[in-house]
Chain A
Amino acid sequence: MTSRTTTGQATDRPRRAAPEQAAASTLADDQEAPFDQDRLPTPPGSSRALLASLLRPHSRRLWASALLVLLQQGAVQSGPLLVVVAIDTAVPALRGGDPVPLLSVAVAYLLTAVLAGGAQYAFVRQSGRVSQDVLLGLRTRIFRQLQDLSVDFHDRYTSGRVISRSTADVENLRGLVHNGLQDLVEIALSTLYISAVLLYLDWQLGVAALASTPVLVRLVRSLQRRSMRAYRRKSTATASVVVKLAETLNGIRTVRAFRRERANDAAFDVVNRRHELASGDASLEMTRYIVFSRLVADTAVAVLMLWSAYRVATGMLELGVLAGAVLYLRRLYDPIDRLGMLLNSYQAAAASLEKIAGLLLQRPGVPPPATPVELPVPRGPGPGRALVVEAASFAYRTGGEVLPRTDLALRPGSTVAVVGATGAGKSTLAKLLARFHDPTTGRVLLDGIDLRDLTDADLRRAVVIVAQEPFLFSGTVSDNIEIGRPGATREQVVRAAEAVGAHAFITALPDGYDTDLRARGGRISAGQRQLVSFARVLLADPAVLILDEATGSLDLPGERAVQYAMRTALHGRTAVVIAHRLSTAETADRVLVMADGRIVEDGAPADLVAAGGRFADMYRAWNESLR
């Protein structure tokens, strides 16, 4: 990141091609603020495609659910029929002393009631299962994708958006999958049934009634289009709310210390207001649809009624037929509201799915190998492995080289310190060695194998990088150390902590290793956090270890403990240490001094000091600071 910004790479122009970006790019109506890439480019129809792919695995169960709705509707609709039967046949039969028809009606009614209740029960459970499986499937896809995407992607996209995508946006789909099927089936059923009855009773009336469909379809389409826009804005606004609040929560100390509360309230009001407007707009679109569709339907009923009256008057239609048809005529238009609501929840889901699809379409920064090569057993005498940078250079796609062509060979088991000013390219080198990025040209080899040919599992088992920020996850201290090796025993965890000198403070915590660190690392100091991160490394026990300024917050005793651990528990590992403090550099086998992306000095620390160059200068300055 460092080198990226200081060497003049534009990283913050929203429309520029980023290191990884989906091939298709059709950004439509919404104007987005700079840096706001809430809506990643998606090809048209991607939300529908995503929905289809989510539902496909469950098609059988969806059909079963639909069948249950049909059963339930059948049972419910037969109630009135039974009433007719009872009055028309059971009453006279009973008067004639025959209780059988009444008993049959009673039994039939009981059966339909039980069937209706049972089908309802089965449907609610079944559709609950299906819809929850769909949501879980979608979440799983999002989570996989998040872990595949590069570190740089996440820096740009921000955690707030990711949270919004995997919670609020997924929940928007929930409304659709929970009730959508039932609505859809019932609407279709009612429309089909009533159209059929109308056509049967009087085909001319039926055809005329169906003639209003094109108008209604146009209304539906307009609702879809317009509410989609509102829901898109709403989903973006929700994400902005989350981003804004997440930032405030994560920086609450700074917010307080610099009295930003009121300024934050004002800034939050802006996004909150945007959300309010979008939310209101979506409701108003629905209102508009309801009013117009009702007007169309009611006008149609009135006109058809007048036409029918004319036909009765002219003898073209029998009065009896009209008497039967007229009530169905009205009921034909009953599902209009429900259709609107169904479409509404579909659009809300589609707007969210579109955002999710954009996220899922991003290509991972470092693709997995097509044909993985297995990593051989270490060739050297110790556990360390050789790391070779072969004519590698690195540039962001936006142009401008961050790391010019570099060659470097690290002997197995050697400790190499990398020093240089901020922005010299140290972190970029570390990222290439750990394959957070792939080099633009050339390659990086681990024991002779291109990193791109290794499976992620093999690579990470062999090469571990410890980043600058000692981030701790919520959970216990032990959980956090175990990230180094999931499933490690308590004894192994304790041994790792002891080796880095973290055992003493951990046991002093209220619950020792089982102390919950709560949100954002709780109350252990920055230095202690770095010790915990370092304990992870001991547990991971890699062949190659890259420390990217991972010891900055340690005090000198802490630093000594880490150095001691590196010489003992991690003895024989290949180590690349990026550090500001020369205490690490002076004990290394080899020092690389970097400036402007190039390695400008390379040699044993003592030789470099003797040669008198940049390192010698730094060394002198450091020595003075100690005096």
Chain B
Amino acid sequence: MTPTPALRRSAARTLLRLWPLIRPVRVHMITAVCAAVFATGASLTIPLVLKWMVDGPVSTGDLAGVWAGGAVLLLMGGAEAVLAGLRRWVLARPLARVEASFRALLHARLQRVPMAFHDRWSSGQLLSRVTSDLNQIRMFLSFPLMYLVVNGTTILGGYAILLAQRWTLGMVLLAPVVPLLVLCAVFESRYLVASLRAQDQSGDLATAVEESVLGIRIIKGFGRQRHQIDTLVGLAGRIRDTELDKARQLAVVRAASALLPELALGAALVIGVAQVAGGDLSAGTLVAFLTTALALRWPVESIGSLLAMGNEAAAATQRCFEVLDEPEEGEREPKPTAVTTTRTGPGELVFEGVEFRYPDALAGSPPVLRGVDLRVRAGETVAVVGATGCGKTTLTALVTRMHDPTGGRILLDGVDITDMPRERLRTEVAVAFEEATLFATTVADNVLLGGDGLGEADMWSALEVAQAAAFVAALPQGARTEVGERGSRLSGGQRQRLALSRAIIARPRYLVLDDFLSALDIRTEVLVEAALHDVLADTTALVIAHRPSTVLLADRVALLSGGRIAAVGTHRQLLRENTEYADLMGSGPQLRGGGDDR
């Protein structure tokens, strides 16, 4: 479900893209690194102090020296504790803030990318980016990154000391560096790929889990729970396989970074012993040399795990930037003198040769709309009728610029809507879709989001029109009742009526209604339509209709067929004159008595 095969970058280059986000906390990060270095220093000094005390004041019975040593110990210990705390404290809030601001950025972008993006991406993939991936990045910034720096420096410094102490033996210890570097490079590229795969798979799993809940009625209705569980477990199993692959690679690197330096150390030991025996080297120097080498063990060994976490963070970063690299829906420069054609005036909605094909449509496939010409006059209601899948809903999506036409133009008040800021356009035009999307909040919040600065009174009058006032009043907490996820506590008809209330509450000048009463029983529909007549009197409205009862709302009807408006007229006129229309509207011999076997 990840549509874009991501550009391959190295882990380091990918991680560098985080810089703008980290910049605000760079001082904190540097402070933390310094604190980590000094804390390490303090903890390395304490054993030296202990040794000094035993060899010095304690053995000589120097009481003052003992107390002084104790004081130094306490001081160093306190410093160690405070520095170790400082390292964490200085980053705790700032890194949480970095994560949160990255998340806010992703959220804001997701709301503003072109709709085609959402057609391409499953929500699970996006959700997993906003949670697990960001978490992974924060964890990397808080610990492994710092230790890559600290341990890297320690290793470099340690090797410098080793070379200074005895460069021949130092070279022996350096010998495994080249194979280890090669191994790490290979590991990096492969582990990054595996991490990406694992995270993509967990996004797919999130998608499947979401679907298994949203589609629970279907799964249960067909008794497919077993099948669904198998599917989900299969997806989880794929994650497991990828993680095992990662573990295998990690095992190689961790084993090698334990084994190779150890072998070198063994070799250095043997050579050193031979040199000491031969008198070329003092035993003390060898001991000092080996002690330093042993101290480097943990930093060297840790590099494998740290790199692994770095790669996981790089994969996470890459996935987040796949979203952030998607540009927001652009606004065209608003033309100061917007073209006002003489032919259209205020309150009119005009389609001029509107063509549309989806951006991801196959090359060569016909466009959905291929030249729609339609004029909805001020205050007029036009119904659009057409066979299922003919592009009616697409047409409504163009009016609110969910998509932009690929040819022709749409004029509102005589102005090309692509010259209008979307914000304004969407204030002018209100919509109600067949699949009434309600949000998991109260009835009131759902209805009131139809406009700004509206109150209870507006809400109730809108609910009246939609014949929703009675059932809303009867809800346990009236308009303050929560409607549940996607309005699931309400029936389809109730949801549609709330969505209609939302569309009309602000008394918009333009209204686009897409088969918005399909789930209503006939009585309610008749009542809603009667009430709507008043609202529609001075509203320019485009109504998508499937049934004659809805068509009756309209002053005129347009038949959409083959991507064009094939006929325009009144319902009766078209019933008489257009066979396609008559067939769609069910008129004819099939209507009664069920003799509709075709």
Contacts and interface: CB of A to CB of B under 8 A. Distances in A.
Nearest to A260: B449
Interface in B59-106: 59, 61, 63, 66-67, 69-70, 73-74, 76-78, 80-82, 84-85, 88-89, 91-93, 95-97, 99-100, 103-104
B277 A91 contact: yes
B518 A552 contact: yes
B218 A120 contact: no
Contact of A79 (B294, B449, B596): B294
Contacts of B492: 468-469, 549, 552
Interface string B40-76: 0000001100110111011101010011011001101
Interface of A is mostly: helix
B28 interface: no
Contacts of A490: none
A557 interface: yes
A103 to B, nearest CB: 9
5 contacts: A95-B277, A155-B485, A510-B362, A555-B387, A581-B522
B88 A143 contact: no
Given A35-B482, A326-B53, A468-B491, 6 more contacts: A34-B482, A143-B232, A242-B127, A301-B77, A468-B492, A519-B119
Interface in A1-17: 1-2, 4-6, 8-12
A215 interface: no
A255 B240 CA distance: 36
A414 interface: no
Nearest to A434: B221
Given A35-B482, A242-B127, A337 B84 contact: yes
Interface stretch (A23-31, A306-314, A370-378): A306-314
A518 B488 contact: no
Nearest to B69: A305
Contact of A250 (B123, B400, B493): B123
B130 to A, nearest CB: 6
A523 to B, nearest CB: 7
Nearest to B54: A323
Contact of B225 (A135, A456, A484): A456
A144 B69 CA distance: 63
Interface in A397-447: 419-423, 427, 434, 436
Contacts of A259: 423, 426-427
Contacts of A155: 484-485, 488-489
Nearest to A127: B247
A291 B229 contact: no
A322 interface: yes
B169 interface: no
B519 A245 contact: no
A238 interface: yes
A79 B358 contact: no
B110 A248 contact: yes
Given A155-B484, A527-B546, A536 B222 contact: yes
B118 A249 contact: yes
B10 interface: no
Q: Which of B222, B232, B481, B518 has the most CB of A within 10 A?
A: B222
B292 interface: no
Contacts of A135: 236, 240
Interface string A463-485: 01111110111100000000110
Interface string B249-293: 011101110110011011001100110110000010011001000
B488 A287 contact: no
A308 B66 CA distance: 10
B240 A133 contact: yes
A276 B134 CA distance: 12
A613 interface: no
A123 to B, nearest CB: 8
A263 B583 CA distance: 45
Given A105-B270, A158-B485, A254 B433 contact: yes
B475 A269 contact: no
A309 B59 CA distance: 9
A352 interface: no
A553 B273 contact: no
Contacts of B107: 245, 248, 264-265, 268, 272
A139 B387 CA distance: 44
Contacts of A112: 262
Contact of A622 (B69, B216, B522, B597): B522
Contact of B210 (A163, A295, A526, A540): A163
Interface in A289-339: 290-292, 294-295, 297-299, 301-303, 305-306, 308-309, 312-313, 319, 322-323, 326-327, 329-330, 337
B223 interface: yes
A126 B332 CA distance: 58
Contacts of B521: 419-422, 580, 618
A265 B393 CA distance: 28
Contact of A1 (B53, B85, B99, B489): B489
Given A6-B471, A167-B132, A427-B491, A555 B546 contact: yes
A159 interface: yes
Given A249-B110, A284-B89, A519-B119, A483 B224 contact: yes
Contacts of B55: 323
Interface in B537-561: 546-549, 552
B219 interface: yes
A536 to B, nearest CB: 7
Contacts of A132: 240, 243-244, 247
Nearest to B485: A158
B211 A330 contact: no
Interface in B443-470: 449-450
Given A102-B274, A319-B54, A464-B221, A12 B81 contact: no
Given A247-B439, A298-B77, A283 B91 contact: yes
A82 interface: yes
Interface in B487-539: 488-494, 502, 515, 518-526
Given A109-B269, A139-B232, A294-B77, A560 B402 contact: no
Contacts of B103: 241, 272, 275
Nearest to B131: A168
Interface in B184-201: none
B202 interface: yes
B402 A330 contact: no
B237 to A, nearest CB: 6
A290 B81 CA distance: 7
Interface stretch (B147-155, B409-417, B585-593): B585-593
A290 B118 CA distance: 45
A536 B219 CA distance: 11
A456 B297 CA distance: 60
A561 B99 CA distance: 53
Nearest to B385: A555
Given A147-B228, A171-B132, A298-B73, A121 B236 contact: no
A5 B489 contact: yes
B389 A528 contact: yes
Interface in A32-47: 34-35
A602 interface: no
Contacts of A279: 96, 99, 138
B122 interface: yes
B20 interface: no
A470 to B, nearest CB: 9
B119 A79 contact: no
A457 interface: yes
B384 interface: no
Closest 4 pairs (CB-CB, A-B): A460-B223, A298-B77, A128-B247, A117-B259
A76 to B, nearest CB: 8
Given A6-B471, A275-B100, A460-B223, A287 B89 contact: yes
Contact of A322 (B54, B248, B255): B54
B214 interface: yes
B173 interface: no
Given A83-B290, A330-B46, A558 B388 contact: yes
